[in-house]
Amino acid sequence: MKMILLRKFRVLILMVFLIACSMHIMIDLLPKLERHGNNGCSCSHTPSEEPQNWGKQGWPNKHTLRILQDFSNEPSSNVSSHSLEKIPATGDKTQALRRLEHLGQRADRKRHFIQDVNKNMPVRGSRLSALYDHPLYKRSSPTLTDEDTLFNVNTDLRFDPKAAEDQAWNTEGNQEEFSPTGELTSDSYPNWLRFHIGINRYELYSRHNPVIDALLKDLVSQKITSVAMKSGGTQLKLIMTFQNYGQALFKPMKQTREQETPPDFFYFSDFERHNAEVAAFHLDKILDFRRVPPVAGRLVNMTKEIRDVTRDKKLWRTFFISPANNVCFYGECSYYCSTEHALCGKPDQIEGSLAAFLPDLALAKRKTWRNPWRRSYHKRKKAEWEVDPDYCEEVKQTPPYDSGTRLLDIMDMTVFDFLMGNMDRHHYETFEKFGNETFIIHLDNGRGFGKHSHDEVSILVPLTQCCRIRKSTHLRLQLLAKEEFKLSLLMSESLVRDRLSPVLIQQHLQAMDRRVRQVLNVLSDCVEKEGYSYVVEDDLQGAAPPPLQR
């Protein structure tokens, strides 16, 4: 009798186990069951109906493509989402380089040459062309050694045509792309990789580099093959992977062009604006800093280019149809990721900025630095620099600000942020390979251009306390204050080439002209107080000052 009861008990346990497994399987297959249970059209065609073909091919296989690039001020942010495959933090650099070679070659063979979709090209005789013809913008760059370049093309990034195991790729390449030795030439690499190769100690990209324009076109025209949420950060950002294996950080539109940051908002709770990222790239280029990675605006189809290609279930489950029959989603983040703050298309089209990724940290490590003039990020507390007028003297005695050009780089960044009205500069990054003698990367500019009716003079405190500036920066600001090279007109001409033009409304453009004059007034007061030779650091290497008149 006991044996019969024991057998019945075992059978019961087995049945409970099988039922539990079946329930788990049904939950995982729920998206597919929803898809097969409905026969209507996708909401990409008729947004007034409930979405029915969510994930037309079901959930894809495990994401096997490693994240090759990173765009973050967090050194540990190599992983784009918990749903993506992680990269070992201490991976073998040689193995990472081989993977980069393999994927770069495959992307090059698969590349399609797409016609230029942007017809707005600068005309000859334009203000922008005249600016770039000015002697201040034609200074020759220092001669580069292997120690001054981020990658050595002949060793670190040599492509081997035999590296690709997929023979289908080998038959699609153009034989003319190979050198006499049978290797691919650097000119045939995809544009995102050519951008990475061009990074050096002094700049992210050189003046008039045609690769940058080609990369901007790729950002708005390349097919999006994968989307995932970026881990970390306070607001929603998406990592988008393209057909050529390039990647970019997508910031969706949260505010219209005309909306200003409410006066009662703290700087740390402000929205991140997609158009600010685009405008920051163009401003950085006009100032001749070239420290912002390329950014372009793009109109994205939320259905076909986000929902249907994402492998991130957490992101996928936040899609819904609004009462106005628009496609919406909200993702997961610290701020503004809820149904009340959902991002909605018209009906499924949404604007956003796409910022090209920097090289992956496994290939080019970056060091994160706390900004000496970081704000308190507290509702009541103030930072030390806000209460100590001699704070700069303490900074100047602290490495790396006690020598080299780092303090002058901070002053450049201060001017850059003030012209945008960006108060959210808590950290900055540099490439570890170049030590302390290199430039600051101007990342994460989404909180700029929030208020055109207010000039936040506290952003200029580093400049007023230290009274230091590069001579080249000072001369360019003087140039941009002149009527023929007015910053607002140059920005307007530069931004008209972006797909989302107009990127900035006229009030923001006019505010930049007003702020240029304020920066020059601060420097004039510094020169009167400390003397020109103390305030202005001559970085023109003894050359005669370029004329400001043309």
**CA–CA dist 310, 226 (Å, integer):** 5
Helix (H, G, I), strand (E, B) or coil at 225: strand
Annotated binding residue at 85? no
**Buried residues in 242-269 as b, exposed as e (16+ CB within 10 A):** bbbbbbbbbbbbbbebeeebeeeeebbe
Supply the DSSP string of 229-243, one letter for each residue.
EPSSSSS--EEEEET
**CA–CA dist 477, 471 (Å, integer):** 10
CB neighbours of 299 closer than 8 A, spacing ≥ 6?
349, 350, 351, 499, 500
Output the CA–CA distances (angstroms, integers) from residue 57 to 29, 34, 53, 54, 539, in the order listed: 12, 12, 9, 9, 58
Annotated binding residue at 506? no
**CA torsion through residues 308, 310, 311, 317, sign:** negative
Annotated binding residue at 509? no
Annotated binding residue at 355? yes
Tokens of 100: 């980069």
406-420 and 506-530 helices cross at what angle (nearest 10)?
140
**CA–CA dist 75, 441 (Å, integer):** 14
**CA–CA dist 325, 505 (Å, integer):** 29
Task: Choose, from 424, 455, 498, 539, the residue flagged as catalytic.
Answer: 424
Supply the DSSP string of 278-329, one letter for each residue.
HHHHHHHHHTT---S--EEEEEEETIIIIITTB--HHHHTT-EE-TTS-EEE
Q: Which of 538, 392, 405, 517 is CA-nearest to residue 467?
A: 392
Does residue 424 have an active-site annotation? yes
Annotated binding residue at 358? yes
Q: Which of 516, 535, 515 is CA-nearest to residue 525?
A: 535
Annotated binding residue at 268? no
Looking up tokens 């703050």, which residue turns up?
A: 341
Annotated binding residue at 235? yes
What residues pair up with 70 in beta bridges, in sequence order? 358
- DSSP H or E segment with residue 247: strand 247-252
The DSSP symbol for 532 reads H
Binding-site sequence positions for ATP: 235, 251, 272, 355-358, 429, 444
Q: Which residues are catalytic?
A: 424
In the annotated binding site for Mn(2+), the residues are 272, 444
Binding residues: 235, 251, 272, 355-358, 429, 444
